[in-house]
């Protein structure tokens, strides 16, 4: 049905937004006015996949962690599932790869950009539980390397931005994107992108294809 990609700095509140989105969607599915197909909502995150924060300390451990996440995304995408990917998703090449997987599976896509200033992320990182805390130098490195989503590119759109000061997510817009948005068919550009692009970097030139 849909792939909802959450993106933002580490410790910016992405898991809170993923939980809000899941709650809104499940409430609508269970509501008396819903007449659509039977749907389930799945949240995939570093925590659900047992990926520790230390995986981001260096590229050697980060690459297999992204591979684990991408494999889980591929496994869960389908006509009866809304998949919420609650992870850093800070590399545009990786977001593009998930977009390609969604097009191959013929599901809708959207991106939720969770905004928080670096100093706030550092404060929240200090208050996390032991297994949910980044090493300070790792957090700073991830913030520096972050590649911001853009509504101007296909793999990030439609794009919804949520500030750390917002009480809630734009639930109506996300619901419409997940259940009534355009399903783009797979094409040569998306079908040829495979796991090697999970290592990051810029999407290939063919990403401009419709």
Are 69 and 44 in contact by the 8 Å Cβ rule? The answer is: yes
**What does the chain look like in DSSP terms, one character per residue?**
-EEEEEEESTTSSHHHHHHHHHHHHHHHHHSTT--S---EEEEEETTTTT--GGGGSSHHHHHHHHHHHHHHHHHH-STTEEEEEES----HHHHHHHHHHHHHHT-EEEEEEEE--HHHHHHHHHTS-GGG---HHHHHHHHHH-----TTSGGG-SEEEEETT-SS--HHHHHHHHHHS--PPP-HHHHT--GGGGG-SPPPGGGG--
Q: Is residue 66 one of the residues assigned to a domain?
A: yes
Which of these, 110, 131, 108, 112, lies nearest to 36 by C-alpha position? 108
Q: Is residue 202 one of the residues assigned to a domain?
A: no
pLDDT tens, 132-177? 899 999 999 999 999 999 999 999 999 999 999 999 999 999 999 9
Q: Is residue 209 one of the residues assigned to a domain?
A: no
Q: Which residue has the higher pLDDT, 60 or 128?
A: 60
Q: Is residue 210 one of the residues assigned to a domain?
A: no
Q: What is the CATH number of the domain that holds 179?
A: 3.40.50.300
Which of these, 67, 20, 75, 74, lies nearest to 46 by C-alpha position? 67
pLDDT tens, 104-139? 999 999 999 999 999 999 999 998 876 789 999 999
Is pTM beyond 0.85? Reply is: yes
pLDDT of residue 181: 87
Residue 118 sits in which domain range? 2-187
Q: Is residue 203 one of the residues assigned to a domain?
A: no
- What percentage of the chain reaches a pLDDT higher than 90? 82
> How many angstroms separate the CA atoms of 79 and 135, rounded?
39
Q: Is residue 204 one of the residues assigned to a domain?
A: no
Number of domains within the chain: 1
Residue 201 has pLDDT above 70, yes or no: no
Residue 194's pLDDT band, with cuts at 50, 70 and 90, is: very low
Q: Is residue 132 one of the residues assigned to a domain?
A: yes
pLDDT tens, 64-77? 999 999 999 999 99
Residue 22 has pLDDT above 80, yes or no: yes
Q: Is residue 192 one of the residues assigned to a domain?
A: no
Distance of CA 127 to the CA centre of its chain: 24
């Amino acid at each position: 049905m849909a792939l909802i990609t959450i993106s933002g700095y580490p410790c910016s509140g992405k898991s809170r937004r993923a939980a809000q989105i899941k709650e809104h969607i499940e409430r609508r599915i269970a509501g008396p006015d819903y007449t659509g197909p039977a749907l389930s909502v799945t949240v995939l995150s570093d925590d659900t996949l047992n990926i520790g924060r230390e995986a981001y300390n260096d590229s050697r451990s980060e690459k297999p962690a992204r591979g684990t996440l991408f494999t889980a995304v591929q496994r869960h995408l389908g006509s009866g599932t809304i998949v919420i990917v609650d992870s850093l998703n800070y590399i545009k090449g990786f977001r593009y790869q998930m977009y390609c997987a969604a097009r191959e599976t013929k599901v809708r896509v959207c991106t939720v950009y969770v905004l928080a200033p670096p100093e706030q992320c550092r404060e929240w990182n200090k208050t996390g539980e032991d297994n949910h805390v980044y090493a300070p130098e790792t957090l700073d490195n991830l913030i520096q390397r972050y590649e911001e989503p853009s509504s101007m590119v296909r793999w990030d759109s439609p794009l919804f931005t949520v500030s750390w000061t917002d009480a809630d997510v734009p639930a109506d817009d996300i619901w419409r994107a997940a259940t009534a948005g355009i399903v783009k068919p797979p094409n040569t550009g998306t079908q040829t992108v495979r796991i090697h692009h999970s290592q990051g970097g810029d999407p290939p030139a063919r990403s401009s294809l419709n």
